[in-house]
Amino acid sequence: MLQFDVHMRAIVAYATGGFGGAEGVHLQVDLQSGLMRSARHVLSPNCDARPAGVEAELIVVHGISLPPGEFGGPWIERFFTNSLPLDMHPYFAEIGDLKVSSHLLVARDGALTQFVSFADRAWHAGQSCYNGRAACNDFSIGVELEGADTIPYEAAQYDTLAALVAALCDAYPRLSPARVVGHSDISPGRKTDPGPAFDWERAHRCIAAARGAPSHS
């Protein structure tokens, strides 16, 4: 699998908290590369440049599972890298020609994979609108949670989401916890993810805790 070249000497924005345990996950954005340190990095070709002068100012939370309702396989990663085996499942044949990606994927165990630099435009939201502004991919960061609309998300996923939101808010000044929305919010009538199973109150409690924890920097 292709890997990003991680530039370890770049300026770093600090998130808060320790690794694992009650304090949650510690994450940092490398601003030079637009990569989340300590995430796994897998290159997706399904991205391009953001419009000139545009940077991330919205985080879009998605839910995805492949095949639908099944967790733990390699298929989301294969989908985002255009290598889904189309004969493996009827649903794969349906979606196999789509060219999509997200910046980040949070697996059921909280493990984090990054497919696209935050500096670039991932193809996650499709037709969408936020506060009257269309084409949310231009100015957003897409975060896929491995999940389904009606199956509760895992505690580890809330922890990782909170840590990554905290790190992104520190790295990109136009982001804030108030600028975290669901795909269903920006593509109403067309998309339902992350679904009613996603607990927004819990997510915001976790984000506040991650943002408020003492800095280790």
| Helix 200-212 and helix 155-171, axial crossing angle in degrees, nearest 10 | 50
For Zn ion, give the closer residue by CB, 28 or 137: 137
How far from each other are the two terminal CA atoms of the chain, in whole angstroms? 33
Nearer residue to Zn ion within complex by CB, 110 or 142: 142
Beta-bridge partner residues of 185: none
Q: How far is the CB of 191 from Zn ion (least distance, A)?
A: 5
Residue 190 to residues 2, 26, 132, 144: CA-CA distances in angstroms? Answer: 33, 34, 17, 17
CB of 99 to Zn ion, least distance (A): 15
Closer CB to Zn ion, 13 or 148, in the complex: 148
Measure the CA–CA gap between 122 and 116, rounded to whole angstroms.
Answer: 6
* Smallest distance, Zn ion to C-beta of residue 124, A: 6
- E-strand spans in 93-192? 104-106, 112-114, 120-122, 129-130, 133-134, 140-146, 180-182
Annotation says 144 is catalytic: yes
CB of 200 to Zn ion, least distance (A): 15
Chain residues that interact with Zn ion, rule: CB under 5 A: 62, 183, 193
28 or 113: CB nearest Zn ion: 113
| Active-site option among 144, 146, 154, 201 | 144
Q: Which residues does the annotation mark as catalytic?
A: 144
